[in-house]
Amino acid sequence: MKDFLQTRLIPLIALCSLSTPAVALVGGSPMGSQVTPITRQVEQRAGRLVERAMERRLEKQVEAQTAAARKQLEELPARLPVLTNKGQKAFNDVILEDGFRAVETQWLVTGTESEIASLNQSGIRVLERNELSGLGMTLARFQVTAELDSRKALEIALPDLADRLDRNHIYAPQTGGDATRPKAGVPQWRSLCRAAVRIGMVDTAIDTAHSVFGNANIVQERFLELAEADGPLAEVTDHGTAVASLMVGQRDHQWSARLPEATLFNASVFYGRDRGLSGATLTHLLQGLNWLAGQELSAINISLTGPDNRLLKTAVKALRESGVLLVAAVGNQGPAAAPLYPAAYPGVVGVTAVDTSGELYRWANRGEQIMFAGPGVSVPVAYPGGDMVVDNGTSLAAPVIAAALACNRADLPAADAIDVLIRKARDLGKPGRDTSFGHGFLDL
């Protein structure tokens, strides 16, 4: 910072001094009215330069840690044992040929009682059956032998169910908060509305003991049980705590919550896995969405991504048809990455991330699924244990847009609530909606 002051600010002040008219004496008094405005301008410009330099330094520091987290995810073992909180192995988290991850040899299917009964055949073992009435689904989770562990093999074995079955995929959160990230200053956001909105999220658990949630109304349910395992999967709290703080977190006399009168419903679906990373099975994700479907919500924030999946697509369609707005992070896999889900499903509000100057987050996905851009670079968020840290990611932009839509839904139907935001969005990039910023940036 000392070098910055010497190389940028001192020459700036000198230049302004040279362009200042000489101080004249009138009756023995300097013409201070000419000097003061110029001095003030110099001080203001210098302050802005210092602030921007500090922001850039902070962004680089957070970006380096984000890149390290991305590398950790890419280097996960091809077969990773996942344990319950009692230390028992629940399943293997494995990488597939397409690069996505799933529960080893596990599949899901929806069907009638008799159709699910037809699963009882050689090479197939039904592990669990769930009635997901909120999604209009009867779900069965089953294990297959290695010989049947492919879509082609199952289409032959279960021809009547082929279009309603898919892998028990594993989904990932779209940021990687950790305690080593830089400490955050005081957030600068304000309340979006004081309506008593009901908003949902599906994420990790929330550390409700964190001081920013002292006045928040949070209801959360955990979906980490497996019928065949002894004890639930190990719970994590970092990502959900960060996301929740962007909607209902506040500190007296410092900043207010974006949704101060809201009730936030959180479905905790993420388990802990190697190196501080987390994942969510599609089984638990569907269970969480089913619970949220029964809470009379105006909007649900989904800050996770993964592959296209027949059952997830069915669940998203059911929620949309019920009138719930779904807001999802588009993902942090980079400009060349394929679309990720659920953000890329029809009717879902896909959100990307930009910094305070409107520059797109370097790792943000691109595509037709992007509807809005929100603040997602160097964002102050709560971290379990009481700290506030700085983090990046499209999943930090999504809850801001979800909060705004929840406010609009207090008075408007879903389509009109979205139209209000489209009119407020500041167009960035190419004129009109584009594949980088969508309709534009919402500085809320």
pLDDT band of 419, cuts 50, 70, 90: very high
| DSSP H stretches of helix in 297-356 | 310-321
pLDDT tens, 18-56? 333 333 333 444 444 455 666 666 655 665 555 455 556
Closest to 379 measured CA to CA, from 169, 227, 240, 189: 189
Q: What percent of the chain has pLDDT over 70?
A: 81
Long-range contact set of residues 144-148: C-beta below 8 Å, sequence gap at least 24: 144/105, 144/106, 144/107, 145/105, 146/105, 147/123, 148/123, 148/124
Angle between helices 32-74 and 10-18 (to 10 degrees): 150
Region 320-324: what's the mean pLDDT? 97
Instruction: Express each pLDDT in 264-278 by its tens digit.
Output: 999 999 999 765 689
Q: 185-238: per-residue pLDDT in tens? A: 899 899 999 999 999 999 999 999 999 999 999 999 999 999 999 999 999 999
pLDDT value at residue 48? 52
Q: What is the mean pLDDT of residues 147-166?
A: 97
Query: Of 170-174, 204-208, 350-354, 381-385, which range is least confident?
Result: 170-174
- The CA distance from 149 to 431, in Å, is 47
Bridge partner list, 109 = 140, 165
443 pLDDT band (50/70/90 cuts)? confident
pTM score: 0.85
| Confidence grade of residue 16 (pLDDT, cut at 50, 70, 90) | very low
Q: What is the mean predicted confidence (pLDDT) over 278-306?
A: 97
Distance (Å) of CA 255 to CA 183, 311, 367: 16, 40, 34
- Taken in order of first residue, the domains within the chain and their CATH numbers are 79-170 (no CATH), 173-424 (3.40.50.200)
Contact 180, 281 (CB under 8 A): no
pLDDT at 76: 84
| pLDDT at site 181 | 74
Q: Higher confidence at residue 259 or residue 63?
A: 259
Confidence of residue 1 (pLDDT cuts 50, 70, 90): very low
Element (H, E) at 407: helix 394-409
pLDDT confidence of residue 288:
98
Binning pLDDT at 50, 70 and 90, where does residue 17 land? very low
